[in-house]
Structures are given as structure tokens and as C-alpha cells.
């Protein structure tokens, strides 16, 4: 008898819950698009060394007064597909997350990427944060199958630091 009363009470509770209407959730229908904002001519056609990569990156961020982080997406023959600004920071830092880096690479159908950022001070020595970011980007790239070929820090007077040349990649 006690069990029957409990079951009846439980049914009443469950039926009153189902009668309370919860508003429907609106779900966005989206389309992702990569929009070309312009283009440049790249005479070398192929990035064959950290030096040629640094020349390309220098065109975009060498004279910036704040730290900028950009990536160059490459096809299977190391030919540039696209260049995208990932972050514009302050005098000595820029916030960069692997998901933002690889979002552009995926949309560009990239086989690999090269990351660039500048040090407005002109000093190309990597910080602890630069090294940690490079490691995170390398690991994320392994998971999704888009290799980080190099991370290059652009300094002043034509100087650069290549993680690949320094065997840190």
C-alpha cells in the first residue's frame, strides 16, 4: 500500500513537470566563408627557407608599433595560399589561441602554416610565452593534421628568429 501511494505521487510529479512548457531554443543556421580582402604578388612562388619566409612576414609586420601575430597558410608544395592577421596586441604582447590560428588554416585548405609575430623593441629573442605558444601550436597542428612549419619572430634591421633554424620546432 505504501509503495502504491509513492508510485501515484511520482506519476503526479512527473506529469506536472511535462506540462510545464519550456521555451524552444533557437539554433543559428550558419555558413563559414573565407573572404579575400586583397592580394599581393609573391615572386618566389614557394617558401624554401626560414629566410624567404622571414622576408614575406617582414612585409606585413616589421614596422608595426605593437605586437602582431599573423600566419601564412601553405599548400602541399609550400606555396603561400593566404596570409591572415590573427591578433593585434599591445607594445609587448598579443593574445593568440590555437583555435583562432587553425580556423583560418582549415578554411584555407592549408597543408601547413608558418606563424609570424614581431617584437616592436627590435629584439628577436623569444620569450617564455613565445616558446609555450609554439609548443601549443605544434601539438594542435598534429591533432588536426596541419603542420606548423616554422614560427618566426621579426625584429628590426632585417633580423629574425626562426624556431626551425634554432631546432625548437
Enumerate the domain spans of the chain.
50-162
d(CA 49, CA 84): 20
Q: Let me know: does 132 contact 163? Beta carbons within 8 Å.
A: no
- What are the pLDDT digits (tens) for 113-122? 999 999 988 8
Q: Let me know: does 169 contact 132? Beta carbons within 8 Å.
A: no
User: Can you give the pLDDT at residue 145?
Assistant: 97
d(CA 164, CA 150): 5
CATH superfamily of 50-162: Cytidine Deaminase, domain 2 (3.40.140.10)
What are the strands of the beta sheet with 68-74, ordered from one edge?
A: 80-88, 68-74, 112-118, 147-154, 160-162
Q: What is the mean pLDDT of the chain?
A: 87
User: Can you give the pLDDT at residue 161?
Assistant: 96
d(CA 22, CA 35): 39
User: Can you give the pLDDT at residue 49?
Assistant: 93
3-state helix, strand, coil in the chain (%, to 5): 35, 20, 45
Regions of the chain with pLDDT less than 70: 1-19
DSSP assignment of 48-105: -SHHHHHHHHHHHHTT-SS-EEEEEEE-TTS-EEEEEEEEE--SS-----HHHHHHHH
Other Cβ atoms less than 10 A from the Cβ of 34: the count is 14
Amino acid at each position: 500500500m505504501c509503495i502504491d501511494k509513492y508510485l501515484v505521487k511520482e506519476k503526479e510529479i512527473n506529469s506536472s513537470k511535462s506540462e510545464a512548457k519550456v521555451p524552444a531554443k533557437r539554433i543559428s543556421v550558419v555558413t563559414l566563408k573565407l573572404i579575400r580582402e586583397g592580394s599581393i604578388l609573391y615572386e618566389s612562388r614557394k617558401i624554401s627557407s626560414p629566410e624567404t619566409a622571414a622576408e614575406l612576414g617582414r612585409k606585413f609586420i616589421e614596422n608595426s608599433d605593437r605586437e602582431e601575430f599573423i600566419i601564412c597558410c601553405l599548400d602541399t608544395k609550400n606555396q603561400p595560399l593566404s596570409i591572415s592577421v590573427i591578433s593585434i596586441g599591445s607594445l609587448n604582447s598579443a593574445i593568440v589561441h590555437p583555435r583562432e590560428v587553425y580556423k583560418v588554416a582549415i578554411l584555407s585548405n592549408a597543408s601547413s602554416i608558418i606563424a609570424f609575430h614581431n617584437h616592436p623593441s627590435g629584439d628577436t629573442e623569444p620569450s617564455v610565452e613565445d616558446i609555450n605558444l609554439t609548443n601549443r601550436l605544434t601539438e594542435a597542428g598534429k591533432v588536426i593534421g596541419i603542420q606548423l612549419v616554422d614560427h618566426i619572430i621579426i625584429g628590426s634591421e632585417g633580423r629574425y628568429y626562426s624556431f626551425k633554424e634554432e631546432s625548437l620546432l
